[in-house]
Structure 1
């Protein structure tokens, strides 16, 4: 499994995809930071890192599909999926290796963004407790999107279709909070509770306030596991159909 993980991670950096995604994320993060700074007095500047991360959630969901479309859709398009599925690894190991490779890219992106709070702490003050929780929430949301993107990638052999559907699905995940608050859905307790469970904006907001709640952690972990299990079922079904 580690060999496949290493191969998947190397493949990201052997193509321009990983470099583009990391560079674009840093560019949007930098631009958001600059725009968020407000001149309070002649010598004082204040800005909120949680606000910057919240804004970048929307950019984030358009970047992750560029990574996850490689998981299975590109394998099928290039005809290499047959070799992958005939390897000694079981489907669970294959899915986990691809998921962990994507998670590593997300982690590299977040580590790179630490440059800004570190510099800020040198010349000013950073509320590290809140910032660490914000990083955790942002990373967990990224893992949810990665798991969802890999699942969608397993359903098609067209990378472009995988990207478009993944972006739409991730946008729906992010906007599910708004749907749960509509008058019609609020009148259906079971459906409203289910949407609240998958309400990623609310979870991230709690994290950005410096709070770590077990219910929110379980919510993120549940979403990740659900999408990974669906992916395993999808790939396993195709593996058996090939005989």
Structure 2
């Protein structure tokens, strides 16, 4: 499993891809940070809970994560290297996990750069540490779930661009599931509303960003990650058996 993980990381870090992704994300995060500062007047202490900032970050990641995951399996099929992967002695489960961990590593690399902003804030003002730590935990699990989703989408196609586009559409749709559930029409049907809320990640992340860690929210994200990875395993394993 480690050789595949290492190979995936090399495909990210031996090319400008990971650095370009991190730089773009840092630019967007910096703009949100600067905007938050601009809204303060001179009579207020420079204090951030980072709650609003992490809500903005979610929108950025909705754009970036499909780009991160689009190549996971699609490029293997497009470049013909999938045959080598499928005929390797490594099990399908280990392949999926290795690729997932490689994507997670890049994701953490992107998040690590944002640590400078709480440090700057702590020097100039104050940081609500409980909310900050919980927000980072929440954004990690939220991102891990969407990475698993992006990998599943990538497993269905050999075109990475199509994988990215479908990923954008699906992730944006999931982002507004709770808003859709609260529309007057859906509210007339409590059973449907409850069903839709079961798939809503946004309200669960809001608890993290406000400084709360609930077991039910952790269970939701972990369960979603496991289910999505299992589905990815099934898709790849089916194709592996079809190849003989």
Residue number in structure 1 paired with 2:193: 192
Residue number in structure 2 paired with 1:171: 172
d(CA) in 1 for partners of 2:44 and 2:237?
A: 61
Could you tell me which runs of 5 or more consecutive residues in structure 2 were left unpaired when the two chains were aligned: none
Residue deviations 1:166-186, cap 9 Å, x none?
A: 111111111111111123333
Q: Is the 8 A contact 1:151 1:227 kept in 2?
A: yes
Secondary structure class of the residue paired with 1:71: coil
Q: Is the 8 A contact 1:144 1:223 kept in 2?
A: yes
Residue deviations 1:45-93, cap 9 Å, x none?
A: 3444121110111111111111111110011000001101111111111
After TM superposition, give the deviation of residue 44 of structure 1 in Å.
3.6
Q: Is the 8 A contact 2:144 2:225 kept in 1?
A: yes
After TM superposition, give the deviation of residue 43 of structure 1 in Å.
6.9
**Structure 1 stretch displaced more, 45-54 or 74-83:** 45-54
Q: Is the 8 A contact 1:39 1:46 kept in 2?
A: no
Secondary structure class of the residue paired with 1:97: helix
Q: Is the 8 A contact 1:69 1:162 kept in 2?
A: yes
Residue deviations 1:149-203, cap 9 Å, x none?
A: 0000000001110000011111111111111112333333443223212211101
Secondary structure class of the residue paired with 1:114: helix
Q: Is the 8 A contact 1:141 1:220 kept in 2?
A: yes
After TM superposition, give the deviation of residue 207 of structure 1 in Å.
0.6
Residue 140 (str. 1) matches residue 141 (str. 2): yes
Residue 110 (str. 1) matches residue 111 (str. 2): yes
> How high is the TM-score relative to the length of structure 2?
0.95
Residue deviations 1:71-118, cap 9 Å, x none?
A: 100110000011011111111110010001001111111111001101
Residue number in structure 2 paired with 1:97: 98
Q: Is the 8 A contact 1:74 1:159 kept in 2?
A: yes
Residue number in structure 1 paired with 2:58: 57
Give the total of aligned pairs.
Answer: 243
1:219-234 matches, cutoff 5 A: 219-234=220-235
Q: Is the 8 A contact 2:186 2:192 kept in 1?
A: yes
1:1-243 matches, cutoff 5 A: 1-37=1-37, 38-41=39-42, 44-243=45-244
Could you tell me which runs of 5 or more consecutive residues in structure 1 were left unpaired when the two chains were aligned: none
Q: Is the 8 A contact 1:40 1:46 kept in 2?
A: no
Q: Is the 8 A contact 2:48 2:128 kept in 1?
A: no
Taking only aligned residues, the RMSD between alpha carbons, in angstroms, comes to: 1.4
**Structure 1 stretch displaced more, 180-189 or 169-178:** 180-189
> How high is the TM-score relative to the length of structure 1?
0.95
